[in-house]
Amino acid sequence: MKHRLFLVALVSLISLIVSPQLMASSESEVAQPEQAKTAQVALPSALTYLNNMKQAYNNLNYTLLYLNTAQNKIEPKQLVHGVIDGKRISYFTYLNGAMRESLQFDGKISFYQQGTKPYSLISHQDQSVFADIANFDFKSGNRSYEYIILGKDRIAGKKAIAIRMISKDKYRYSYIVWLDLGSYLPLRLDIINKSNIILEQTMVVSMNISHTVSPWIKQLSTQSTPDILTLPQTTTSNIAQWNVDWLPTGFKVIKDDQHKLMMHDTDPVSYLMLNDGIVSVSVYISSNKSLLADQQTIIQRGGTLIYTKQVNNAEVNIIGQIPLVTAEKIAASIKPVH
């Protein structure tokens, strides 16, 4: 099995370098029974790697030291992950500046920061750095993305393989993910736009894997966590109803409610969360316009977009890791329900 994987990786690597004609001849030398099926051969192998990554990311005990880069800013961070009696635990911290830590375990995530009171939230989805990519349903995700092995590389001193997830349309970003060939843990993730500009990068600089869960994190799991906070909800009465007519392929509405913005005693807004298995996008619709709506506002940081527009006499705010064109199209499709 290993051999075959390697061969396939090699073939797809060659395909990037040489012309189609050469490709055909190299394939016949390899004596594959089917001819010219490079795409079909490459797809399962990239898919296998990606599924191995999912397994590794969720099941191994590891510590990652990594850098997040967006625009000119680099943030060093650390993730410690373990599995205790089948339950995952993740500890996260910023390495520079004020202490900011979080701990996710047993359906809760707790936040600790220098100078403020710690608190917990009910949280069922893994919030750690590579979670959105690692937990993607790659198999059905091939409706939105194509997976291609780019080749081998060296990251954090490890032999790595680079896999590109290319968006099949212009409504989402593409990714390149590098996996450690030894453990299959993700080592680097680039978010790239359609011009191949890297919008954001996460790069592991040091990785440690252990057979058993670190005693330190095991100890953390036994300590009591701070109080759980609940997010307020508002009933639907008195709030105008809105429809979003257009969503990019693969996106679904996973939250639909009305609430006041956290900590701000604002008028309630209609809220939708859209998700395509990797990216989550918040859509806020408010009939009370704020000053933001005077003009269209576009704020971009790394891969994250904050978009504001006045639509049909309402203020629409869209936040998430999507291209501008997507936000524009979603906003334009919002209509009041009569």
Partner 1 sequence: MNERELDLQLIQRIQNGEQQAFALLVRKYQTRVANILTRYVRSSGDIPDVSQEVFIKVYKSLPNFRGDSAFYTWLFRITVNTAKNYLTSQSRRPPASDIDAEEADSYDGSGALKDEDNPESLLHSQEIKEVILKVIGGLPDELKSAITLRELEGMSYDEIAQIENCPIGTVRSRIFRAREAIDKQLKPLLEN
Partner 2 sequence: MKEYSQDLSSLIDNEFDDQEIIDTVLEDVELQQQFSRYQLIGDVFREESDGLDLRVDVTDSVMAAIANEVQQDNVVPLVTPDKQETNVVPFMKRFGQYAIAASVAGVVVVSSLVVNQDNATDASSTPVLNTVPFGGAAAPVSLQATPAQTESDIKERNERLEALVKDHQLQLQTKP
Name the binder of 207 from partner 2, partner 1, none, CB < 5-8 A by kind: partner 1
> In angstroms, what CA-CA distances link 73 with 181, 201, 216, 221, 322?
29, 11, 31, 32, 20
Exposed / middle / buried, residue 99 (Cβ in 10 Å: 0-12, 13-18, 19+): exposed
Rounded Cα distance, 5 and 225, in Å: 45
Footprint of partner 2 on 19-58 (CB under 8 A): none
- CB nearer to partner 1: give 207 or 293: 207
CB-wise, 48 or 78, nearer to partner 2?
78
Site string for partner 2, 99-128 (x = CB under 8 A): xxx-x-----xxxxx--xxxx-xxxxx-x-
Q: Which of residues 134-163 bind partner 1 (CB under 8 A)?
A: 156-158
95, interface contact from partner 1, partner 2, none, CB < 5-8 Å by kind:
partner 1
Looking at the Cβ atoms of 96 and 222, the one nearer to partner 1 is 96
How many beta carbons lie within 10 A of that of residue 234, not counting itself? 16
H or E element at residue 66: strand 61-70
Residue 214 and residue 247: Cα distance in Å, rounded? 43
Residue from 21, 96, 196, 237 in contact with partner 1 (CB under 8 A): 96
Would you count residue 302 as binding partner 2 (CB under 8 A)?
yes
304 in contact with partner 2 (CB under 8 A):
yes
Short-list 17, 301, 263, 331, CA closest to 150: 17
Q: Which helix (H) or strand (E) holds 283?
A: strand 280-286
CB of 75 to partner 1, least distance (A): 8
Nearer to partner 2 by C-beta: 39 or 254?
Answer: 254
CA-based nearest residue to 186, from 132, 150, 123, 148: 132
Residues 6+ apart with CB under 8 A from 269: 258, 259, 260, 261, 284, 285, 286
Q: How far apart are CA 144 and CA 306, in angstroms?
A: 23
Site for partner 1 in 190-209 (CB under 8 A): 205-208
Identify residues 250-289 at the interface with partner 2 (CB under 8 A). 254-255, 260-266, 271, 273, 275, 280, 282, 284
For position 76 contacting partner 1 by CB under 8 A, the verdict is yes
Q: Name which position in 202, 214, 258, 326 contacts partner 2 (CB under 8 A).
A: 202
List the x/- string, 82-101, binding to partner 2 by CB under 8 A. ---------x--x----xxx
User: How many angstroms separate the CA atoms of 40 and 11, rounded?
Assistant: 12
Least separation in angstroms between residue 256's CB and partner 2 is: 11
Q: Which residues bind partner 1 (CB under 8 A)?
A: 63, 65, 67, 72-74, 76, 78, 95-96, 156-158, 205-208
